[in-house]
Amino acid sequence: MAGRHSIPTDPIDDSFFEAMPQDDYEGEYQTVAVQNPPVYRKKPSIFSRIIGFIGELLITAGLLLGLFVVWQLWWTDIGANRAQAETIQEQTQDWEQPQKIGEPRYDDPPAFEHTDVEGAFLGVMRIPRFGKDYAYSIEEGTGLATVLDTGAFGHYPDTAFPGEIGNFATAAHRQTYGAPMRDVGNLQEGDSIIVQTKDAYLVYKMTDSYIVSPSESDVVLPVPRQPGEEPTERILTITTCHPPFVSNQRWIVHATFDHWIDPSDGIPEEIAE
């Protein structure tokens, strides 16, 4: 016997559902489901806008700085080395360069014709410690745009010329623009440093290297670091920046003349294949 709160056991007739306004109901339900409450966003303050603007500027500056570093460290080397190869090829194509080892000579080397023209070609610097094919031009003057930034060694004006008694003083980059003295730290006492001119291979032997401040210009005196001293030796000096990427000091290399080889007789053994 079922009480008044009993659950009906008869199934609900399908007509119950058919009688419901299905389309209207579903439509009303769907409309309610896709409705979203309006979102009100707080307008950024002037301070936030300024911070955002500064952030964008910093990102842009960082990208530009990165491109500049790539240009300085990579592209300038490519450009300078390409220019060096062309310069040496053009300037030495008529020089005698027999591919045999020449006989060292210990008499006075041929006199060198002086010039004071900025960028004038003087010869080729060869440092076998850096590779048998290592070769960079030596040019008159030490101007950045006219000489050093082309990858060349620059000759300090008012110092001796190649092979002369006194101090044949030069400068070269250690980083960027070909970086001809990048491996200066690998040089050892007794290493050959060869200056090739039209008339001679001048072979110097490294004697010393040290680090000074940029103001210590006495390293290019006729007798390095000895003002007023009369020179009696043929000296070669190379100055380059130190340390890399800071360059607030100078690395100095000295070498003394050992012998020379007549190009018509051959080439130094150190650069022979």
Query: Catalytic residue numbers?
Result: 173, 241, 250
Distance in angstroms (rounded) separating the CA atoms of residues 246 and 270:
33
Distance in angstroms (rounded) separating the CA atoms of residues 62 and 108:
57
**DSSP letter string, 175-223:** SSTT-TTTTGGG--TT-EEEEE-SS-EEEEEEEEEEEE-TT-GGGGSSS
| The two three-digit tokens of residue 163, written as one number | 């092979």
The DSSP output letter for 4 is: T
| The two three-digit tokens of residue 185, written as one number | 């730290």
Tell me the one-letter amino acid at 215.
S
| The two three-digit tokens of residue 244, written as one number | 């890399």
Distance in angstroms (rounded) separating the CA atoms of residues 48 and 59:
17
Distance in angstroms (rounded) separating the CA atoms of residues 232 and 49:
72
Distance in angstroms (rounded) separating the CA atoms of residues 206 and 208:
6
